[in-house]
Structure 1
Amino acid sequence: MADRTNASRAAASGTGPRFCLLGPVQVLVDERPVPMGGPGMRGVLAMLLLEPNQVVPLDRMVDVLWAHEPPASARTMVQGYVSGLRQRLAAVAAIGEVRITTTPPGYRLVVDESLIDVTLARDLLAEAAGTPPARRAELLRAARALWRGPELADVSNRVTAPELTELRLAVLEARFDAELVLGRHHEIIGELTQLVDEQPFRERLVGQLMLALYRAGRRATALAAYQRFAHRASDELGLDPGPRLRALHVRILRDDSSLLEPSPEPVVSPRLGVLVPAQLPRTPSGFAGREEELDWLNRLLTGGHRPPGAPAIGVLAGAAGVGKTALAVLWGHRVADRFPDGQLFAHLRGFDGRHAPVSSADVLTRFLVALGVGAQDVPTEVEERVALYRSILADRRVLVLLDDARDAEQIEPLLPPASASMVLVTTRVRPDALVARTGARLQVLGTLAAGAAEQVLELIAGAPAQGRDRELRRRLARLCGHLPLALRIAGARLAGGPGWSVADLVTELADERSRLSVLDLADPATSVRAALDVTYRSLHPDLAGLVCLLGLFPGTRIGPYPAAALGGTDVDLARRRLRALAASFVVTEASREVFLMHDLVRLHAAERAAGELSEVDKADARRRLLHYYLVGADLAHRRLRPDRHDEPPLAEKFPDTPRVPMTTPGEAVDWIEQEWTNLLAVVESGLDSGQDEEIVQLARMASEFAEGTRTLGPVGLSRAVRLVV
């Protein structure tokens, strides 16, 4: 360790090349940066440096650089980045000192790890442990000085490494401990205050701030810091402060003067295993239905859905507001006695628009403290935390509930090692990677059945429906789309007093222009619009753009071809984006190439389109969509009546419009049947946007289809189409 630290210091002092990740991604020679290409090339370098001397798969590089939507040439581009890096590294390092080897399934950076600033920071942190306070503070200040800005600052939109943030915080926390022992509490209060604002749920920082304030004679401020943390942890995470922080709070309340004396010993060190965590939030009220899903969870617990000896990992996935957390918490309380060693809960904030996702490192710290590990005994390295966590749970039976997870990387470090425990995850995206890697079982939640939806209204409203109100409540449930969050809000409106009757609420919700506003409460946690906003903001910009365009679509069933027309893209790209939206439960793939939107999601998309698209953009998208239906209808007409066309096909007039393959009369009939309601809706919406001449043309073709295509069955043209014709 000492030899490597000395080598790292030599690199840091400018006597050799140094690779930097703690700030912009750079290679320094004699403290001068060497150009390393554009963001793509630096992103590849960052990924290789984060795993030095290890193989980084090419596919992972592609996924990271292009956020899972790579262009066709992505692999070739990465190969070009690697070639450019090889040339640049050969110019700054001795022959063989640093090189990139091609090692299937990817690339490996062969490098002396002491040349990387991350390694130096870790070595300094490790060296500081157990040294006298003054020397410890000196080493940790040197470690902190390695940061030249936010980690991976110039590629952070492509490459993320939360472990580097965790390393920075570990260095700071260890330094603050040393400064407190040295009696330098006045000097660190300002820095601690800022850090606690940035990391409000990091208990060690909160405790250090409280102790520094108390020693500085600011007892009331120290107590206020505790109260802020306790209220926020309860409100946002459903957690109480850990035992060490609670003990420190009590000592400050009692004005324990022994705290004024700097001491190297921790304030409190709870014994491992004394605590049995019970962290589940309160049982949800107004719960109804989900019998099949509850049975599925029971079978998963008893091993009915997994191989013998395998860990039980269940995933509840579904759209915003569908009731994933309520189902998970309710079931967790019902089976709590099956987990005598406790229940752990973490809200991972994977799709929280107000906060960044919680790192697995932070959750591990909270879980370890909840399991009785002293905060000062929590390992600095994430891998060591994982090892300790799994060691503690190896012979225990614990339920771990991970709410609102974003991806497999956030979940996997939190999985217990053996089958005695169980993990239940809720998420707004399909966790295909987690299922593939761990064998997790997936249950996708849809909206409630009609009977259960009406029961939710009754439970929240507080009274059964009487007489005419029964039918009105059925209609109210339909207007809420049987979505549990919307039903709970509607029920709360009814329970709020005589100001809202069922008939009033139905009238308000029947108007699509005001429906989301009626289902919008002041609390973001109980607002349909806010829940949908969170999902929308979490989407890749290209997918969010497609959602806006879908808000302009007048029909109910959309496929890749009309989606491509709306977006002005090719059909394959539109298909991939629709499937990506289906993976985030923004749309549902009801059958092959047919996607549906929940009514409330459709209204939200229309709001986003109204607020984010210019009038020109909206007019262009509607025109492209109209041209798609004109070209499709013309082609279908020619296939059904080939003898009645002398004029050129409309496809020649609109050459950029996507065309469905249609070579036979049967395919023409299939297209008409699939697009019939959309075609009529386009005619009606086109009348309002002033596209008169082309709308008349499309309406006439629709009229002919209705008269001559008997396979459609009884076809009724809308009043608007009849008026046009």
Structure 2
Amino acid sequence: MARFCLLGPVQMIVGERSVPLGGTGVRSVLAMLLLEPNQVVPLDRIVDVLWAHEPPASARTMIQGYVSRLRQRITEADAGGVHILTTPPGYRLVVDESLIDVTVARSLLARARGLPAARRAELLDEANALWRGPALADLGGRVSAPELTELRLAILEARFDAQLELRRHREIIGELTQLIEAQPFRERLVAQLMLALYRSDRRATALEAYQLFAHRAAQELGMDPGPQLRDLHARVLRDDTALLEPNPDPVVTPKVGVLVPAQLPRAPSGFAGRGDEIDWLTTLLPPGETAAIGVLAGPAGVGKTALAVLWAHRVAGAFPDGQLFASMRGFDEQHTPVRAADVLTQFLLALGVAVDDVPIELDDRATLFRSILADRRVLVVLDDARDGEQIHPLLPAGSSSFVLVTSRVRLDGLVARTGARMLTLGTLGPDAAESLIEHMAGTPAHAHDRELRRRLARLCGYLPLALRVSAARLAGNPQWTVEDLVTELTDERSRLGALDLEESDTSVRAALDVTYRSLRAELAETVRYLGLFPGTRLGPHPVAALCGSDVDAARRRLRSLASSFVVTETSRDVFVMHDLIRLHAQELAETELSEVDVEAAGRRLLRYYLTGAESARELLRHGEVRSGGNGLSSAREAAEWIDQEWANLLAVVESGSDADEEVLRLARLAAEFSEGTRALGPAALSRLVRLVV
């Protein structure tokens, strides 16, 4: 059986023999696959890492060669159950994770928590012995893994705590002093050194260690020592002999128990794509002394929670003090949004605070939460947040923890207030969408139906929720073929219905409806009217016509809808809707608008385009417009208006009645424009000819 080592030079060991792997490139690829075992590592990311975003033209071919050599080495070594799969968009190493030294180290750290000091020290010595030098030592810095540095520091700090409890304070002074030189701002290490020195009758040296840290922190970081380190300093100053007694509690952790929460939900299966987004999240990891906040925002069904949970599992080892998770229910029709006070209670109990010690007031709970996390490294995931105010009391301050928030709305206020970093999550790429379908359906695509699966992915709009529902239907109904499902989804009238799972709460329509029901009244009204729009390119002027509002109000409404991801602003004052959101809006228009409203909105929109087209013709012919004009004042503006609105204008004509005189007038104008610089497709041309003649 093979073992894999990252905590030192990168190695594959069979028995007691290290298997020759090849050059740095081969070992770097193996390291990247081992850092994310059983997960797809995108080829593009491997290229970027190995060549620092400046790859040679042959980079992909070289990676393929590295992978081929690794497969050969694994086969020759008879590694038993270990193999590398080509899984678009990259490669996946299938391996028992207990064969990787990093996983073993994390497991030993977790097992040690809460045990008697002697047993803790044994397990942590065993974990520390796994390091054979700096992690990834032979890769020349090509592959970066800061989580491995954090893992070793967590193991060492826990080991020093156990040794202090065992009265081995003299034995660890030299090791602590050397480690602090490399990590001068780790307050927990400084506190452990001070305590070891004080117990070794070196009180003055303990105070010097504190002063050195305080001076460095002030000069280089502009900050003071934390409250717990200041408290320890004060106790050493007054010669508090209670410090001489062994204490099972870490010296810089409040006495609130020894629980290490692990609240992350199960990681999703069949995950595909998102390599760039995962890399972006990893760049946000705090360096060790400053809290960081990341926000994943995006529309319903785009996979925000799946990405957050998957990434959180991958980096959990960098947070040895635990992982906290809360569903904030910001957009849940069945429940009201969760109060921050209730989440704080949940978190405090998970961190070991006794029920009777949880403060009553929200501010007091938040203060205690921040105090507990002040010297801990905890990952906090807040899923489905409604707004910044809901989550602000849950944010740590001045710690090395990390907070990841997901939301269906842009949290611009949180970004402005806290300096959080925000990423808007879009739909999947075509290759990742096909991979997801293939994994969920449970059968590989053969040549004859690969194109059908591509069509299926397109009809799902590359939306992860829609893709998962479609794949689940294929997996759960063997009598259904991909062609059957594509045929059903091709009909726009039945597409949303086809993206529901019976006897399940998994539904694209339901997910979109939750977002819609959460909107303010005027925004919900706008969505209903957008369901009447026959074109694809939305702007303030036509939306103002549809809604019967002024242009400024329409622009504000569109931008508010963009903040909730109902529409997307592709450029200034140009908005589009995802196909599935558009179909949902059409259903809302059919069920929630009266016939009178529909007729009036359609007439306003038709007259907007008719007025604009007539004004554009006058400007192009005579250089002036006699009345109205939709704001057009020159031939150049007229030409630009025609260019921008041409597809919408044709869509309005196509959707109008043959017997409507205003539709006929607009059709004639479109025919005139088409004789100039505009070309018509066969269907549009046939329609115009029929109307005009």
Q: TM-score, normalised by structure 2?
A: 0.62
1:187-217 deviation digits (Å, cap 9, x = unpaired): xxxxxxxxxxxxxxxxxxxxxxxxxxxxxxx
1:494 alignment partner in structure 2: 474
Shift in alpha-carbon separation, 1:389–1:555, aligned structure 2, 3 A:
same
Amino acid at match of 2:430: A
Residues 235-634 of structure 1: pairs in structure 2 closer than 5 A:
272-301=256-285, 309-522=289-502, 525-634=505-614
| Deviation by residue 1:570-591 (Cα, 9 ceiling, x = unmatched) | 0000000000000000000011
In the TM superposition, what are the counterparts of 1:153-168 in structure 2 within 5 Å? none
Q: Secondary structure at the match of 1:513?
A: helix
Partner of 2:632: 662
Tell me whether 1:680 sits opposite 2:650 in the alignment. yes
Shift of residue 662, structure 1, vs aligned partner: 1.3
Aligned position for 1:202: none
Task: Tell me the distance in 1 between the aligned counterparts of 2:413 and 2:567.
Answer: 20
Q: How much does 1:417 deviate?
A: 1.6
Q: For 1:33-52, what aligned pairs fall within 5 Å after superposition? A: none
Question: Is the 2:376–2:399 contact (alpha carbons within 8 Å) kept by the matching residues of 1?
Answer: no
Secondary structure of 1:464 counterpart? coil
Q: Tell me the residue number matched to 2:688.
A: 721
The question of whether the paired residues in 2 share the 8 Å contact of 1:525 and 1:531 is answered with no
Match of 2:672 in 1: 704
Partner amino acid, structure 2, of 1:383? D
Please state how far the C-alpha of 1:496 moved relative to its aligned partner. Answer: 0.9
The alignment partner of 2:422 has SS state of strand
Whether the 8 Å contact between 1:524 and 1:531 is mirrored in structure 2 is: no
* Amino acid corresponding to residue 300 of structure 1 in structure 2: L
Aligned to 2:47: none
CA contact (8 A) 1:683 1:698 kept: yes
Deviation for aligned residue 1:693: 0.8
- The alpha-carbon deviation at position 524 of structure 1 amounts to 6.0
Aligned AA for 1:613? Answer: L
Q: Give the CA deviation at 1:271.
A: 7.5
> Is contact 1:271-1:374 (8 Å) kept?
no
- Which amino acid counterpart does residue 288 of structure 1 have in structure 2? A
Distance 1:564 1:276, change over 3 A: same
Checking the alignment, whether the CA contact within 8 Å between 1:458 and 1:464 is kept in structure 2 is: yes
**3-state DSSP class of the match of 1:351?**
coil
Give the Cα separation in 1 of the matches to 2:503 and 2:460.
Answer: 18
CA distance in 2, matches of 1:513, 1:620: 23
Contact 1:318 1:428 in 2 (8 A): yes
Q: 1:300 to 1:692 in 2, by over 3 A?
A: same
Give the counterpart letter for 1:301 in structure 2.
L
Equivalent positions of 1:94-105 (< 5 A) are none
SS of the aligned residue for 1:514 comes to helix
State whether residues 280 and 329 of structure 1, in contact with CA within 8 Å, keep that contact through their aligned partners in structure 2.
yes
Cα offsets for 1:249-294 (capped at 9, x unmatched): xxxxxxxxxxxxxxxxxxxxx9723211100000101210001000
Supply the AA of the counterpart residue of 2:276.
E
Do the aligned partners of 2:624 and 2:634 also contact (CA within 8 Å) in 1? no
**Structure 2 stretches of 5 or more lacking a match?**
1-253
Could you tell me which runs of 5 or more consecutive residues in structure 1 were left unpaired when the two chains were aligned.
Answer: 1-269, 652-658
> Structure 2 vs 1, CA of residues 718 and 288 (structure 1 numbering), >3 Å: closer, same or farther?
farther
Q: Judging changes above 3 Å, is the alpha-carbon distance between structure 1 residues 718 and 415 closer, same or farther for their aligned structure 2 residues?
A: farther
The amino acid across from 1:698 in the alignment is L
Provide, for residues 690-721 of structure 1, a one-character-per-residue CA deviation record: whole Å limited to 9, x for no partner.
6621111000000000102x2x4677644322
Partner SS, residue 366 of structure 2? helix
Change (3 A) 1:391 1:616: same
Shift of 1:298: 0.8
Aligned CA-pair RMSD:
1.8
Deviations 1:408-448 (A, max 9, x none): 11111001122410000000111010000000000000111
Identity between Structure 1 and Structure 2 (%): 65
Cα offset, 1:522, TM superposition: 3.6
**Native 8 Å contact 1:485 1:528 kept in 2:** yes
Pair 677,356 (structure 1): closer, same or farther in 2 beyond 3 Å = same
Using the TM superposition, give the Cα deviation of residue 644 of structure 1 relative to its aligned residue in structure 2, in angstroms: 11
| 1:520 alignment partner, SS class | coil
The equivalent of 2:234 in structure 1 is none
User: Residue deviations 1:220-250, cap 9 Å, x none?
Assistant: xxxxxxxxxxxxxxxxxxxxxxxxxxxxxxx
Distance 2:411 2:296 in 1: 10
